Each structure stands twice: as C-alpha cells, then as structure tokens.
C-alpha cells in the first residue's frame, strides 16, 4: 500500500496475497500458471486479502469470487474499442486528483491503491501503480478548487479505495472539508467492508464523521457470498453510527449474469441495511472483454428482477458513457406508443396493457 495506508501485523496465513507465487501457495492456482500470471501482474496489480481469499473454492474452476480477483491471461488481450480512460476522467479533471463531471458534485481521488484489485477495474491503468497517494500540494489545489465553487454540494471520495487511508489522514481531509460550508454531502466509495471488514473500526468511523457533513458510504460488492457475517457486521458498525449505506455492483459475465445471483445479492444488501443503488454495465477497460455482456443481455436480467424481488431490491442499471459524458440509465423500456392511441405498457410478467389517460 501507499504511504499513509494502514499496515497490520498478520500471520503468514492471514496476509494479503500479492504475487502469483502467493496464489499458488494458497492453492488458488496451479504452480504451472505462475510464470504466465506474472506477466499479467507485471501489468495490472494483484492484491487479494484473506477475507476474500477464504471465499474462493479452488475446486470450482468457475468460482465467481476467483473470477473477480485472481489474474487471468486474457487481461493482456486488449480488444478494439477498449480505452485506458474508459469513462473520460481526464477530460473532466481541472486539477490533479479531482474530476468535475456534473455541476453539483466532484470526485476526489485521494489515492490510487486498494485493499483488493478487481480484474475488471475501469481505472486499472492507474490504480495500483506506485505509491499512489495524492501529494499535499495536489490536495491543497483540489480543496481550493472545491472551496471556490459554491455549486459543489457533494464530494465523493474515490480512488483507489479512500478507506485504505489511515484514520489520521482520512480525518485530516474530512476536517478540511468541514471548513467548506457549501459542501453538504460526503460520499465514500469503498470495498473495505467486504475486503477487510475488521478495519471498519471506531477510529475510521470517527474520521469520516469529522467532516460534520452528511456521510454516505457506497459499498461495492458483486456476489452475495461477499456479504459474509463479518462484512455485514462492518456495515452495521457504519450504519449504527448514523452513516447510511448504498450499494454499487458491476454486471459481470461469469460472476452475476443470472437473475438468481442478482436477486440473492440485492436481497443480501437490503438485509444488511444497504440500499441497492447502481448496477453498472461493465466499462471498456483494457483487457476486460471476457467480463462484458451486451446491454440487451443486461436489460433482460434487470427486467427479470422486476416483480421477482421487492422494490427495495431494485438497482438502477446504468452505463457510464465513454468519453466522459456521464452515467445514463439503460434499463429496459417497458413503455411504447400504441398504434390505436394511448400507451402500451409491459408488466413484470411480460404481458402488455393499454393505458389511456382520462
């Protein structure tokens, strides 16, 4: 991890796996694959913490947890149309570490390291490279930019994983945001409650609340098994401290591309008091073609959730448009103009009904 990230003394059996040789020693890959996967990890960082490594079934070649986090030689095959900056962060970055795509909110990228590296990460060209912590000078410029623009209502901490910072550093940023009165909302995007749930502790929670803002935490999880009892307890510590939680999920081939898994995941979120928020269509990041579905396939899956699960469990299916044009909902359109007037509307069973306003 970069400077300012917490380091915990752990036994050999409970340390984060960072090299293909570590994966082989843990029985997650065969020794015959070490050399070829070293080529992958030389290009894209590897980190697999024990909380997630323990969920992998080595006997299952299609294990969805392994698919998300264990390197694959297909990552070195870059398909036509894939982009180093697939959602156009750079086009909307007025100062280092800041993305200002929408009028009332900004992304603040405090660091470029994570407790776990997803093999489909849309920032994989920058995340996990070097120390990756935003310099004090760059942070000063980013906070000055926010302070000078009263339209900025929300600051979203991202990265990398902002909760990989030490509580001391996180509290320092939060206290500086406290001095910007027009910022009302602080949102934090993280995988930490599932990747290292023990690190959601009182000092970290106190650091988040030091901003004096309304704080939301958005949790990224893609498979219901990620919401272990330990992960749910970590979420409960945040929520019981008056920090509401939302979810973010990426729709991934071979991980959650069936309605049973998606339904189980969304229900698991709600049971953990985490409100389903976004279901992301996978971005055009290099070397991730084996994860991508078509939007039509995604629409069918999202349509199948309607009626199958409670309204509390319905995420918004979105595409982050390449080029920096922002997110747009791409869920199934169930309304069309009828040929005899009125609207034809499809219900959750697939039946079509005519609706005419009085």
**Residue 140 known to be catalytic:** no
The active-site residue, picked from 18, 237, 273, 327, is 327
DSSP summary character for residue 221: -
**Residue 114 known to be catalytic:** yes
**Residue 5 known to be catalytic:** no
Q: HSE (CB half, 13 Å, CA atoms) of 37? A: 21
The pairs formed by 256-259 with CB atoms below 8 angstroms and a separation of 24 or more are 256/64, 256/222, 256/223, 257/293, 257/297, 257/301, 258/301, 259/301, 259/304, 259/305, 259/308
Round to whole Å and give the CA distance between 212 and 210.
5
Q: Which of 137, 165, 149, 192 is nearest to 174 (CA)?
A: 165
Beta bridge partners, 247, equal: 219, 276
**Residue 18 known to be catalytic:** no
**Residue 123 known to be catalytic:** yes
**Residue 168 known to be catalytic:** no
87 touches 122 (CB < 8 A): yes
The active-site residue, picked from 5, 114, 235, 313, is 114
Q: Rounded to whole angstroms, what are the CA distances from 60 to 25, 29, 64?
A: 17, 11, 9
The active-site residue, picked from 15, 43, 74, 102, is 102
**Residue 320 known to be catalytic:** yes
List the beta strands (DSSP E) in the chain.
Answer: 98-102, 105-109, 154-158, 185-190, 214-220, 245-250, 274-280, 316-321, 326-329, 335-337, 343-346, 352-355
DSSP summary character for residue 256: T
Round to whole Å and give the CA distance between 225 and 117.
17
**Residue 237 known to be catalytic:** no
Round to whole Å and give the CA distance between 193 and 242.
16
The active-site residue, picked from 19, 43, 74, 105, is 105
**Residue 101 known to be catalytic:** yes
Residue 77 CB neighbour total at 10 angstroms: 13
Round to whole Å and give the CA distance between 291 and 68.
9
The active-site residue, picked from 5, 121, 235, 313, is 121
**Residue 118 known to be catalytic:** yes
The active-site residue, picked from 22, 67, 89, 101, is 101
The active-site residue, picked from 109, 119, 123, 191, is 123
Write out the catalytic residue numbers.
101-102, 105, 114, 118, 121, 123, 283, 320, 327
């Amino acid at each position: 991890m970069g400077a300012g990230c917490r380091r915990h003394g752990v036994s050999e059996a409970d340390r984060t796996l960072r090299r293909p040789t570590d994966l082989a020693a843990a029985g997650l890959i065969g020794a015959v694959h070490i050399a070829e996967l070293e080529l992958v990890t030389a290009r894209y960082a590897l980190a697999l913490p024990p909380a997630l490594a323990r969920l992998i079934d080595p006997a299952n070649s299609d294990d969805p947890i392994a698919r998300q986090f264990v390197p694959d030689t297909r990552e070195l095959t870059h398909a036509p149309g894939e982009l180093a900056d697939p959602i156009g962060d750079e086009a909307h970055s007025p100062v280092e570490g800041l993305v200002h795509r929408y009028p009332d909110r900004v992304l603040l990228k405090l660091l470029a390291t994570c407790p776990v590296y997803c093999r489909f990460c849309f920032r994989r060209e920058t995340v996990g490279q070097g120390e990756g912590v935003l310099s004090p000078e760059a942070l000063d410029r980013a906070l000055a930019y926010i302070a000078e623009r009263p339209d900025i209502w929300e600051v979203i901490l991202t990265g990398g994983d902002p909760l990989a910072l030490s509580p001391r550093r996180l509290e320092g940023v939060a206290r500086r945001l406290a001095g910007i009165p027009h910022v009302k909302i602080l949102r934090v995007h993280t995988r930490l409650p599932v990747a290292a749930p023990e690190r959601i502790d009182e000092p970290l929670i106190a650091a988040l609340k030091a901003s004096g803002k309304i704080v939301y935490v958005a949790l990224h999880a893609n498979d219901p098994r990620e919401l272990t009892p330990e992960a749910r307890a970590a979420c409960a510590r945040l929520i019981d401290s008056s920090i509401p939680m939302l979810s973010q999920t990426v729709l991934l081939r071979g991980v959650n591309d069936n309605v049973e898994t998606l339904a189980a995941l969304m229900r698991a979120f709600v049971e953990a008091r985490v409100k389903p928020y976004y279901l992301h269509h996978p971005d055009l990041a290099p070397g991730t073609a084996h994860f991508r579905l078509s939007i039509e396939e995604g629409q069918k899956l999202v349509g199948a959730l309607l009626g199958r699960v409670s309204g509390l469990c319905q995420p918004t299916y979105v595409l982050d448009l390449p080029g920096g044009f922002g997110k747009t909902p791409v869920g199934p359109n169930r309304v069309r103009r009828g040929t005899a007037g009125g609207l034809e509307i499809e219900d959750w069973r697939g039946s079509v009904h005519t609706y005419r306003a009085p």
